[in-house]
Structure 1
Amino acid sequence: MTDAPDFSGLSAVFINATLKKSPEPSNTDGLVTMSADIMRRHGVAVTEIRAIDHPIASGVYPDMTEHGWEVDAWPEILDQVMAAEILVLAGPIWLGDNSSIMKQVIERLYSASGMLNDAGQYAFYGKVGGCVITGNEDGIKHCAMNILYSMQHVGYTIPPQADAGWIGEAGPGPSYLDPDSGGPENDFTNRNTSFMTYNLMHLAKAFRDAGGIPAFGNQRTVWDSGVHEFGANPEYR
């Protein structure tokens, strides 16, 4: 067994898209805690946000108070997301799909998809993303596909095996944190959550050490300037 890399200095944000307001217990928090605790043990600064506790407006602009909403907590949350190298979206399965809160969070992430970093790339370049899912009905892979596709579409990089989840026995039954559910002791879930967590930290560290994703052929500022010779040209060598 090799020594663990130095992950200190990295930061991560977990956004829980449960439908339950605090302080009501959230089963999704159980998996969030497992992953977040691994990160904290390796010196990663972790912020946990329960989205439903905040007055997040609906919409696809960075600040919806500029579009008719009186209050919007998203800009403050986005500042925390932008400051972190790792983002994990966590949520429950309802009717085989992601929760309405998860959909809202993804829409608001999309609202920042036009923002740029200092290298002229899209702002989420060089950041890594993953997800955890809980429930007592089928749909972990379906929910993960939607979340991880959405994250890479706005610029996040997805490492190998970047999703984990627990659903227990399909149909009505105990949830993850319920007594005798078997969730916290489930080896498959624990393994996947651990692998996801370490892969997120490994890739985030690699990007940090490399200074992000190389800025060639992917700079919005260069493309907008009219310089296209590096792409969209079958004759380019």
Structure 2
Amino acid sequence: MTSPDTDFTGLKATFLNCTLKKSPAMSHTEGLVDASAKLMRKHGVEVNVIRPIDHDIAIGVYPDMKEQGWEKDAWPDLYPGILDSDILVIGGPIWLGDNSSVTKIIIERLYALSGMLNDEGQSIFYGRVAGCLITGNEDGIKHCAMNILYSLGHVGYTIPPQADAGWIGEAGPGPSYLDEGSGGPENDFTNRNTTFMTWNLMHLAKAFKAAGGIPAVGNVRPAWSDGERFDYENPEYRS
């Protein structure tokens, strides 16, 4: 049974699974992505899951790296779908205690779009929400999540409460999330965090959509460049 609080029809979400494995290889991160995506689809969200490793995404901090000498760059074909989404979830594995190289490339390419503005003169990412999912069999979930969520907030995404979830087995070499007997899909802590993240993303995205985004007051770049200071005053220091 659906209610106004559980119907998110009209919202769009993009999951970027930053695994190092090309399709159709099994990805442990995709197991956790699927859990969140299934919940979103159940409540009306249109979901698209992408493995960036399947695409020729160039390295760099410009929207189209072909203009910087790269022969190929799939990013200009991918990012319009991300900008058309109300929700972005970046998922990825832990390697050497840090985010995967693919995750870092995606963060850099999102940063490359941070100069774009919406119709109000705000960052193009304003009014959109984001979260992250992390898998691995070594420590680093919180470290990886902090890096991703800070980066996404910095470029303009809004991060709702409890916007990350992850699973690791025992510290050190061992089973990964989808391995038989790992306990990953049954882990109550992981399942709770994944569920809370998913619902909070949907709630906040729906609220933004209904409100028309974030009010364009005090955060409009062209106005600042034209001299508007939005009531800001330099503090008066006293010796």
Q: Deviations over 1:115-156 (max 9, x none)?
A: 000111010000000000000000000000000000000000
Aligned residues: 235
Report the Cα distance in structure 1 between the residues aligned to 2:60 and 2:53, rounded to whole angstroms: 15
Give 1:234 shift. 4.8
Q: Counterpart in 1 of 2:44?
A: 43
> Does the C-alpha gap of structure 1 residues 176 and 233 become closer, same or farther in structure 2, counting only changes over 3 Å?
same
Report the Cα distance in structure 1 between the residues aligned to 2:164 and 2:129, rounded to whole angstroms: 12
Q: Counterpart in 2 of 1:28?
A: 29
Report the Cα distance in structure 1 between the residues aligned to 2:26 and 2:182, rounded to whole angstroms: 15
Percentage identity across aligned positions?
A: 70
Report the Cα distance in structure 2 between the residues aligned to 1:144 and 1:224, rounded to whole angstroms: 33
Q: Please, which runs of 5 or more residues in structure 1 have no aligned partner?
A: none
Following superposition of structure 1 onto structure 2, how do residues 57-136 of structure 1 map, counting pairs within 5 Å?
A: 57-136=58-137
Give RMSD over aligned pairs.
1.5
Q: Please, which runs of 5 or more residues in structure 2 have no aligned partner?
A: none
Give 1:229 shift. 4.6
Report the Cα distance in structure 1 between the residues aligned to 2:202 and 2:55, rounded to whole angstroms: 27
Report the Cα distance in structure 2 between the residues aligned to 1:229 and 1:211, rounded to whole angstroms: 21
Give me the TM-score of the superposition, normalised by structure 2.
Answer: 0.95
Give me the TM-score of the superposition, normalised by structure 1.
Answer: 0.96
Residue pair 1:217, 1:231 contacting (<8 A) in 2 also: no
Q: Counterpart in 2 of 1:52?
A: 53
Q: Counterpart in 1 of 2:227?
A: 226
Amino acid at match of 1:146: N
SS in 2 for 1:132: strand
Report the Cα distance in structure 2 between the residues aligned to 1:28 and 1:64, rounded to whole angstroms: 28
Report the Cα distance in structure 2 between the residues aligned to 1:175 and 1:214, rounded to whole angstroms: 43
